[in-house]
Structure 1
Amino acid sequence: MKVLMVDVDGVLVHGRPGDGLHYCTYLERDLGLKREVLQEEFFRKDHWGDVVTGRDNLEPRLTSVLERIAPGLSASTLIDYWFENDSRLDQALLGDLAALRAKGIPMYLATNQEHRRAAYLMEKLDLSSYFDGIFYSAMLGYQKPAPEFFRLATERVGIEAHEIAFIDDYPANIEAARQFGWKAMHWTPTATLNDALAAFSQ
């Protein structure tokens, strides 16, 4: 292993800062929008697919949806609410990753994100202090588990696929990474970085 790639949501980030609940848990109470409606009208239709692969920007596309489903709610208000309530960091894992990086292992985030949240993760949550960079779907034009995601990330990091290790909580992403040649481990709530390192050495 010459480089470690780390997923974000479900690995490093786990919901609301105070309690770890999904960021939409109190969405209707706080902003008057039902979680199911947002999921169906934005995330489960073509809108999110275009945004998360960089074909469109988040705010204008979300604005067009909110004009129909929640006309009194601005996209900027919802985006701020989402980002702030989906930002609980796994500090124990970050500490373990920092110790490994201090030994000379470069680390990158490998994640499905649109441009604004990718910047939020690196700047506002300060993940740029822990990682050498980020490869994300809106940057690459493909989202995991598409093989093109892994190909482009490999090309940009500049080493052979078999020299890259990867942790992710989504089985399809793990399978796709392995098919491309990365060493990959399925991350679970009870997993540790030592578990991953042991799996990578097999």
Structure 2
Amino acid sequence: MNAADPAVRTVLWDADGVLQHLPAGWEASMRPVVGHLVDDVQGFLDEAFAAERPALTGEARWVEVLPRLLERWGLADSYDEAMRVWLTMEPVLETRELVGALRDAGVRCCLATNQDEHRGRHMHATLGYGDLFDDTFYSYELGVAKPDPAYFRRILQRLDLPADRVLFVDDNAANVQSARGVGLRAEQWHVDDGLQTLHRQLRAHGLPV
């Protein structure tokens, strides 16, 4: 199949780093909350991301996991501030506009993101992903998270499309490789790479940008 074959009619979009971002980064944003109480902010974040993993697949609830994590680090009183940072995100307007333009051109666009239920519902309500996309695939709803190949297989079942008719855009190399392993077309892109790069990647798959 030619790389410029216009057979791609559905694009799956990651959220963090693609459609939304935390401009200062996790460590810089969390440091005012916990930096005066712990020496190793990055260590705290590493443990937090590991503890969050079961919540991404719906096996746990982050609002119950986070208090226990904070207590272990002696940060029990920092729950509200920590949750505020966890739920802080800024939309990438250029990418969102591109999604709208593709949909206007007849290309189906869907959200494909790893999120726990609390953050996912917050994103859905505050950033309007239900209106922005034709469909949304949150990991906590699917019961499996990227980069597990089963994540992409479940989406393909929902879409009822061959894998090579679907393009996936994500900023994480492991997720991109996993998608390709399932047969999807996939491109790695982060907001810092610039919109021109994203346009070039989409055009390579025959998309009208």
TM-score relative to the length of structure 2: 0.83
Instruction: Decide which of 25, 34, 44 is 2:28's aligned counterpart.
Output: 25
* CA contact 2:13–2:170 (8 Å) conserved in 1: yes
1:1-202 equivalence runs, <5 A: 1-15=8-22, 20-31=23-34, 32=36, 34=38, 35-44=41-50, 47-84=51-88, 87-188=89-190, 189-192=193-196, 193-201=198-206
Q: CA RMSD in A?
A: 2.0
Gaps of at least 5 residues in structure 1 are none
* CA contact 2:19–2:91 (8 Å) conserved in 1: yes
What displacement does 1:33 show? 5.1
* CA contact 1:166–1:183 (8 Å) conserved in 2: yes
Letter in 2 for 1:103: A
| Matched pairs, number | 194
Question: Any idea what the Cα deviations from partners look like across 1:61-89, whole Å, max 9, x if unmatched?
Answer: 111111221344253442223212xx121
* CA contact 2:100–2:132 (8 Å) conserved in 1: yes
Q: Distance in 2 between matches of 1:60 and 1:80?
A: 15
Tell me the secondary structure at the aligned position of residue 73 of structure 1.
helix
* CA contact 2:27–2:45 (8 Å) conserved in 1: no
Moved over 6 A (4+): none
Q: Distance in 2 between matches of 1:33 and 1:180?
A: 44
* CA contact 2:29–2:85 (8 Å) conserved in 1: no
Letter in 2 for 1:182: L
Q: Percent identity?
A: 28
Question: Any idea what the Cα deviations from partners look like across 1:147-199, whole Å, max 9, x if unmatched?
Answer: 10000011112222111111111112111111211111111412444212222
Change over 3 Å in CA distance of 1:41–1:176 after alignment to 2 = closer
Letter in 1 for 2:12: M
Comparing 188-197 with 125-134, greater Cα deviation is found at 188-197
* CA contact 1:167–1:196 (8 Å) conserved in 2: no
Q: Distance in 2 between matches of 1:33 and 1:174?
A: 37
* CA contact 2:20–2:90 (8 Å) conserved in 1: yes
Comparing 162-171 with 190-199, greater Cα deviation is found at 190-199
Q: Distance in 1 between matches of 2:205 and 2:158?
A: 22
Matched residue, 2:4: none
Q: Distance in 1 between matches of 2:84 and 2:96?
A: 24
Q: Distance in 2 between matches of 1:29 and 1:74?
A: 11
Letter in 2 for 1:14: H
TM-score relative to the length of structure 1: 0.86
Tell me the secondary structure at the aligned position of residue 125 of structure 2.
helix
Tell me the secondary structure at the aligned position of residue 24 of structure 2.
coil
